[in-house]
Every structure is written in structure tokens, then in C-alpha cells.
Structure 1
């Protein structure tokens, strides 16, 4: 069985400073963090993983900003869920209106954070999201 801690976290955030801050905090917790600067880049990488990558190279948790160039975090989440990929997904957004939260929850987001948020809260949610043993889809668009 795959060890659940430290976790393998995929982080998509187009703001370099925010991405660095979040990645640093998660790495301090011992997690492996793979960074992406767009939802499109994240989705493309997940697609390559679905074509033969080992279980150890798959993410335990995905953290993604919503508004990014190309694919939004909600686009990525919807695409993953459409093909059965069930990795816990944490959405962050600077535009956290009720409709965005509702769409994220309906699509299966584990959590939604409105910016600015407490990084320690995100760290806790990532750890909790990575604990359950959920089914991970075998393909990505």
C-alpha cells in the first residue's frame, strides 16, 4: 500500500509569488510539490500521467487557483471528474462568490478557499484531503 505521508501535491497557480508561498509552506510539511503555472499545464501533465505513470507519480491532492490563463481550476476539476479521476481537489479563488462555491462543490471539490486565506488552514486541509484512500481515475482528458 502506498504511504500517505508525505503527500504528493500538484499545485496550479498563475501568480508566481502566491505559488512560491504555498509550495514553500507545503514543502516545509514534508510534502512533494509539483508546480504548474496554469490549469492547462496541469491538465496536460495529468494526461501524460494517465498514460502509463506509476501510482507513486500520481498526486495525492491537487490544489488549484480558479482564474488562470487557459483552463480555470473549475475547468480542470470538471474535466477530471468527467473521466472518473477522484483525487481530492482544493480550489482557491480571489473571486469566491456563492455561485463559484456552489459549482466547485457540485463538481466534487474537497474544499474551496477564498483569497486571502490562512496558509495554515490550507496546510491542514491538504493533509486531511490526502488521508482518505479514494479511487483515482485511470485516464485524464
Structure 2
């Protein structure tokens, strides 16, 4: 059975810890990053199966992270999480290639269902 690697990019340590616990408990290998810059500097981009990223972060935003990852020719699926949802952010995220945008707080099952739906399509 293939183990999927999920990278969580969020400037909030409590969100990173909660996502790590949730995803690990579902059998995923999880790597967490406090910023988009940390993720881009890491060696994890190439082995990541799925990215969960906050929209609003200091420095490079989640949307800009997705744009940069796509510019590098990487098509890893992204789902965004945000505490500040609005339709323009949702539209920009989906146009940039995100598979979804979840509003904080969200049900754990919603995140898992979204990830599994995408990974099971591959």
C-alpha cells in the first residue's frame, strides 16, 4: 500500500500540530512547515502527494505558493484553509488550481474526505 505524504503549510503552530495529528492518525506521512518559504526551500516538494496550506501567511501567501509550485512544473494537489473566507479568495484559489478551500474551523472529516477524494482519483 502506498503511503501518501501530506505537507501542511501554516504559520499557526496549533493548526500544524492538529493537522499533523489528524493526518497521521489516518495513515499519512506528514511534514509541517511554518511558512511557504520553508516549504519551497525543503526537499519535500518532490515527494509530497498533497499540500494543505493556509491562504494568509506572512511573506509568501498560500496562493502565491501554489503559483510558484505550478511555475516549477509541479502539479501536486493543494487544498487551502482559511479563517477569512470570501468569494474572491475562493475564486482565485480555484482558478490557480486548488482542489478546494475550507473555512476554519472545519470538521476533521471534511479535510480527510477532500484529500481522499483527490488521492483516490489518481
Q: TM-score, normalised by structure 2?
A: 0.91
Structure 2 partner of 1:33: 30
Equivalent position of 1:23 in the other structure: 20
Partner of 1:122: 111
Q: Secondary structure at the match of 2:121?
A: coil
Deviation at 1:49, TM superposition (A): 5.3
- Higher CA-based Rg: 1
Q: 2:90 aligns with which of 101, 104, 107?
A: 101
Q: Does 1:43 align with 2:14?
A: no
Mark the runs of 5 or more structure 1 residues left unpaired by the alignment. Answer: 51-56, 134-141
How many residues matched? Answer: 122
TM-score, normalising length: structure 1: 0.80
| Deviations 1:88-124, CA, capped at 9 Å, x for gaps | 1011111111110000000000111111111111011
Instruction: Give the aligned CA root-mean-square deviation in angstroms.
Output: 1.6
- The answer to whether structure 1 residue 62 and structure 2 residue 51 are counterparts is yes
Distance 1:68 1:130 in 2: 26
Measure the CA separation in 2 of the matches of 1:62 and 1:129.
11
5+ residue gaps in structure 2?
none
**Relative contact order, higher structure (CA 8 A, sep 6+):** 1
Cα distance in structure 2, aligned partners of 1:114 and 1:104: 13
